[in-house]
Amino acid sequence: MSHPVSPLAPKHQPALPPIAGVRLATAQAGIRYRGRTDVLLVLLDPGTRAAGVFTRSKCPSAAVDWCRETLRGGQSARALVVNSGNANAFTGLKGRESVRLTAEIAGKAADCAPGEVFIASTGVIGEPLDATKFDGVLADCAGRTGPDAERWAEAARAIMTTDTFPKLATRRVRLGGAEVTINGIAKGAGMIAPDMATMLSFVFTDADLPAGVLQALLTRGVAKSFNCCTVDGDTSTSDTLMLFATAKAGNAPVASVEDPALAEFAQGLDDLLIELAQLVARDGEGARKFVTVEVGGATDDASAHRIAMSIANSPLVKTAVAGEDANWGRVVMAVGKAGEPADRDRLAIWFGDVRVAVEGARDAGYDEEAASAAMRGDEVTIRVDLGLGAGAARVWTCDLTKAYVEINGDYRS
Amino acid sequence: MSHPVSPLAPKHQPALPPIAGVRLATAQAGIRYRGRTDVLLVLLDPGTRAAGVFTRSKCPSAAVDWCRETLRGGQSARALVVNSGNANAFTGLKGRESVRLTAEIAGKAADCAPGEVFIASTGVIGEPLDATKFDGVLADCAGRTGPDAERWAEAARAIMTTDTFPKLATRRVRLGGAEVTINGIAKGAGMIAPDMATMLSFVFTDADLPAGVLQALLTRGVAKSFNCCTVDGDTSTSDTLMLFATAKAGNAPVASVEDPALAEFAQGLDDLLIELAQLVARDGEGARKFVTVEVGGATDDASAHRIAMSIANSPLVKTAVAGEDANWGRVVMAVGKAGEPADRDRLAIWFGDVRVAVEGARDAGYDEEAASAAMRGDEVTIRVDLGLGAGAARVWTCDLTKAYVEINGDYRS
């Protein structure tokens, strides 16, 4: 199934530069889709280190289990295999067999141990994934891999399910006397897609950094990016974000995540993760408006984040945005239901720059017309000040439209 | 705004019998609507005791604050005033003034102290409520009150906002050697309605029970009824459930909530609360299917309840039901995201009587056609067995349709 490209899609796709030690190729394995690529193979030079963060679901996919175990066994990475069309989630023993076989086939193709192969799957849940389909396909891919921009674009397309546009981002930063590159691709948006297609993102860099530093940077970065992005509040079984560093940049060694020499790299990585997370929200199913929710004045940042998520996940707030309705009463509701410290009589609310409520009541200068105008663009900002403390948070989401219901309700009927 | 009557509405409305000590009247105060009643006055004879449970929102309405304070001051109740069209929520100091003035006007009309008047408001949020509109209206109502079935039906209609049908229920039970009656009315469904109309429910009985017992029974009953009902997961600022007992039945005294003589009354009250809660879910905005979610095998009941709510509030599960799509993968997702103990490999899932998944994978005997058939009726049951313990819960909800988005997105635009 394909849908019209989101009106929130970026006008231009960036051309990603090569990263020393990273080569990519895609293929059609015919897992579910016809007439499109559905497999990505990334070959990583010896010395590449990996870090990853995965879904907090209590029912994770077989691929997520594999990646977690493999990272525990060691951070050396030589290959990444991603397929779309089948999530290999909730497939029981068969699913575990399937990832093991995939790792063996990829290991042969990449001339490495299965324990150096990372795997991600996205698409239908509950369907057994026939890994024998990778036999031959991955060996063929290995012979065709390349480092150029077109390969990155192909890679971003091959992992799409119901995404309406490929998601790519790149940064170039200084690190320990060297220029280093960070490339990233992503697909999906949490549980936006039918049959539990999932959020997957893969970031690559030529930086030479210890695995522990990579993991610390990624864990810190995801809290400010993907964990601040929601479409429907439905957490997937397969969310996967991985960072691969090939250590080819020749930068001076960095011992710890606290090393000031990391500052620019960390900033560049955070920016890239935020850009990818926003692209994911911009492709939310049925999305017509990109929504930024900013919460300030909370007792602490965690409390601000929970309140921001309560607003961003409220069906009534999201439908109001879809209807270009400056319905701040629903924002009050969402603040109230979050269960976090809040004092109705200190609450202030803005749509865009228009303050609609202050001190627990409608703003005396409230102008319905100005507020409505702030809802009309395809980017809407909802700002809340709780007036309690210094806690702040920012999250991104999209509106809830009939198209969301249509896409998710009519899919198999 | 009016919408077609929900296809899930009961075929017949019950005729509620009189309750000694309870007289009702409605009127048109012109608060927001035209050509319909928007005020309900209930007069309660001296000796009537009240109990109540209210929204857990951190931004409660002025009326909720008033009822809480009034109950703390004493459980004696002589009058109940309910208006629709304006929730008097997030109205600051003006809101507090408004409820105080309403209580004074009602007190004069009912010849009682303002502290014996209970107030509930539902409708638009953030709009100041002009209580002077009750002046004259309530005194007029007081002169027209009556106990008969038609008054109960009028009362249920007067408190509706975007409800598509009035919600009434009655029970007759034995208590301490006497026949006692329990009548209840309700409106709305959590935050289903535009502009934060809310769930309100009022239950009346002639039973002679101490206030402490009434409160204990109500608190226990709400946990099994209204707190097991969700339409969109958006908790209102004004949810109010009150129980009034006129003590006219002449039943033998009951000292404590543990008294076995209470058994039949407690059961009757619980049944009535559940019936009203289900009526509320059946009138969920845009609802086409009534959904029962049953979770068993959890580590405890609280955990089962959180998992059941995670399923019942999942947009992807609700849109799948709307699409008559036996999409059990989304049920797995909702179980996984609940954050409660769950073992993917012990999970079993049923739609109706059709087991679609068992032991962490699709049921070998899974029949897509049979599963789809279970989705076609206007009542759908989703059952999950976690296989971990004895914890169980049951919640009610409805599907998520385009009509929900339309009603909540197009309301003010």
pLDDT of residue B2: 57
> Which of the four pLDDT bands, split at 50, 70 and 90, describes residue A193?
very low
Most confident of A200-214, A323-337, A378-392: A378-392
* Smallest Cα distance from A194 to chain B, Å: 8
* Smallest Cα distance from A339 to chain B, Å: 7
Phi/psi of residue B61, each to 5°?
-75, 165
* Smallest Cα distance from B412 to chain A, Å: 6
* CB–CB contact B325 A411 (8 Å): yes
Architecture of domain B22-283: 4-Layer Sandwich (3.60)
* CB–CB contact B319 A409 (8 Å): yes
What's the whole-number average pLDDT of chain A? 88
- Is A198 annotated to bind a ligand? Reply is yes
* Smallest Cα distance from B184 to chain A, Å: 26
Mean pLDDT across the stretch A148-169? 91
How would you classify residue A282: left for phi > 0, otherwise alpha for psi between -120 and 50, otherwise beta? Answer: alpha
Give the 3-state secondary structure of residue B167: strand
pLDDT of residue B197: 38
pLDDT of residue B135: 94
**What is the torsional sign of CA B227, B230, B234, B237?**
negative
The shortest CB-CB distance from B332 to any of A59, A316, A411 is to A59
Partners of B335 on chain A (C-beta within 8 Å) are: 58-59
pLDDT of residue A345: 87
pLDDT of residue B162: 75
> Which of the four pLDDT bands, split at 50, 70 and 90, describes residue A197?
very low
Query: Does pLDDT of A108 surpass 60?
Result: yes
* CB–CB contact B336 A92 (8 Å): no
Parts of chain B belonging to CATH 3.60.70.12 = 22-283
Q: Any chain B CB within 8 A of the CB of A328?
A: yes
Distance CA A277, CA B57 (A): 31
Distance CA A61, CA A90 (A): 6
* CB–CB contact A196 B333 (8 Å): yes
Q: Any chain A CB within 8 A of the CB of B86?
A: no
pLDDT of residue A199: 66
Give the 3-state secondary structure of residue A210: coil
Query: Does pLDDT of A102 surpass 90?
Result: yes
Nearest to A47 by CA among A255, A247, A251: A247
Residue in A with minimal Cα distance to B233: A314
Q: Any chain B CB within 8 A of the CB of A349?
A: no
Pull the structure tokens for residue B259. Answer: 């008294």
Q: Any chain B CB within 8 A of the CB of A385?
A: no
* Smallest Cα distance from A18 to chain B, Å: 37
Could you tell me the mean pLDDT of each successive run of 10 residues in chain B, 413 residues long? 75 92 95 92 94 81 91 90 90 91 97 96 86 95 96 94 86 91 78 44 88 87 76 70 88 90 91 84 86 96 92 91 90 87 91 92 87 92 96 91 82 42
Give the 3-state secondary structure of residue A198: coil
Pull the structure tokens for residue A84. Answer: 């779309």
Residue in B with minimal Cα distance to A237: B333
Q: In what order do the strands lie in the sheet with A79-86?
A: A22-27, A39-44, A79-86, A117-124
Find all residues with CB under 8 Å of B259, minimum gap 6, and list them. none
- Is A187 annotated to bind a ligand? Reply is yes
Partners of B357 on chain A (C-beta within 8 Å) are: 90, 126
Q: Any chain B CB within 8 A of the CB of A359?
A: yes
Q: Which of A27-31, A47-51, B237-241 has the lowest mean pLDDT?
A: B237-241
Asked whether A157 and A35 are in contact (CB, 8 A), the reply is: no
* CB–CB contact B325 A235 (8 Å): no
* Smallest Cα distance from B265 to chain A, Å: 32
Q: Any chain B CB within 8 A of the CB of A413?
A: yes
Query: Does pLDDT of A73 surpass 90?
Result: no
ipTM, interface predicted TM-score of the complex: 0.78
* CB–CB contact A325 B411 (8 Å): yes
pLDDT of residue A219: 84
Mean pLDDT across the stretch A240-253? 89
The CATH number assigned to the domain with range B290-410 reads: 3.10.20.340
Q: Which residues of A are catalytic?
A: 198
pLDDT of residue A196: 35
Q: Any chain B CB within 8 A of the CB of A408?
A: yes
pLDDT of residue B344: 84
Parts of chain A belonging to CATH 3.10.20.340 = 290-410
- Is A372 annotated to bind a ligand? Reply is no
Partners of A59 on chain B (C-beta within 8 Å) are: 332-333, 335-336, 342, 344, 347
pLDDT of residue A63: 92
Distance CA B407, CA B1 (A): 9
Phi/psi of residue A122, each to 5°?
-145, 140
* CB–CB contact B400 A406 (8 Å): no
Partners of A123 on chain B (C-beta within 8 Å) are: none
Q: pTM higher than 0.90 for the full model?
A: no
Partners of B404 on chain A (C-beta within 8 Å) are: 315, 319, 405
pLDDT of residue A375: 93
pLDDT of residue B189: 53
Distance CA A195, CA B165 (A): 35
> Which of the four pLDDT bands, split at 50, 70 and 90, describes residue A235?
low
* CB–CB contact A58 B361 (8 Å): no
Residues of B at the annotated binding site for substrate?
Answer: 161, 187, 198, 285, 408, 413
Partners of A359 on chain B (C-beta within 8 Å) are: 92
* CB–CB contact A335 B93 (8 Å): no
